[in-house]
């Protein structure tokens, strides 16, 4: 079954983190940290004394339904379609098949899961395979119902990560120098890249 929940072990791995996209590296490091953390059983708390009932708002905010969760340890990629592709009119299975075909993934049951946010018109692809994630990150077009659409894809970093931009970083400073020297209290800086030829450096970090 390959619509929104499919799985298969992946054997191909990329060993050099420096050659991977930042979101790939951050996800790998987050998974390693998750495996090293001891598993703790949550303690039960006694029910507290009920407080005074709060006043109801006259116009409560309408909450959108929460999207189904994707595996926390997976690599995740968001796709923004262009050229008028309306995902609310495309079934998840059709969209997933279009993505698999565009990435030239030949497995009958690829390790890919799909979640579609119809309000934002953005699907999120999830996979436990680093190789598949990097392959999906290379596609620029998908074909749906015999029509071809341009897409923009970008990696989705783990929930406990954050991005930042540092100014006035001279060109003599290499990425390795930056990672060695920079310190962010409460975070571990994992990746960085210079924004074009500017003195701005973008970084991604994981909370300690």
Separation between Cα atoms, residue 169 and residue 179, nearest integer Å: 12
List the chain residues with pLDDT less than 70.
1-22, 37-67, 159, 208
Residue 14 forms part of a structural domain: no
| Domain ranges, residue 107 | 75-156
**Are 149 and 165 members of one domain?**
no
Distance CA 1, CA 168 (A): 51
Instruction: From 134, 156, 178, give the residue that closes a domain.
Output: 156
Q: Per residue in 128-157, pLDDT tens?
A: 999 999 999 999 999 999 999 999 988 887
Cα gap 141→148, rounded to integer Å: 7
Residue 80, pLDDT score: 92
Assigned domain for 130 exists: yes
User: What's the number of domains the chain is made of?
Assistant: 2
Provide the edge-to-edge strand list for the sheet that holds 75-81.
Answer: 113-117, 122-127, 75-81, 147-156, 141-144
Q: Which of 137, 156, 175 is the last residue of a domain?
A: 156
């Amino acid at each position: 079954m390959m619509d929104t929940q499919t799985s298969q072990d992946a054997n191909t791995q990329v060993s050099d983190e420096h050659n991977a996209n930042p979101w790939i590296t951050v996800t790998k490091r987050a998974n390693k940290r998750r495996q090293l953390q001891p598993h703790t059983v949550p303690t039960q708390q006694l029910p507290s004394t009920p407080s005074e009932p709060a006043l109801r708002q006259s116009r409560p905010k309408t909450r959108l339904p929460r999207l189904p969760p994707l595996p926390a340890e997976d690599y995740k990629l968001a796709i923004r379609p262009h050229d008028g592709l309306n995902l609310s009119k495309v079934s998840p299975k059709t969209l997933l098949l279009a993505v698999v075909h565009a990435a030239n993934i030949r497995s009958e049951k690829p390790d890919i899961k799909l979640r579609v946010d119809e309000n934002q018109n953005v699907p999120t692809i999830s996979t436990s395979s680093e190789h598949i994630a990097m392959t999906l990150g290379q596609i620029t077009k998908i074909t749906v119902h015999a029509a071809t659409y341009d897409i923009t894809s970008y990696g989705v970093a783990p929930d406990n990560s954050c991005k930042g931009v540092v100014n006035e970083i001279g060109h003599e400073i290499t990425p390795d120098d930056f990672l060695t020297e920079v310190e962010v209290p409460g975070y571990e800086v994992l990746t960085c890249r210079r924004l074009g030829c500017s003195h701005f450096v973008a970084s991604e970090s994981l909370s300690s």
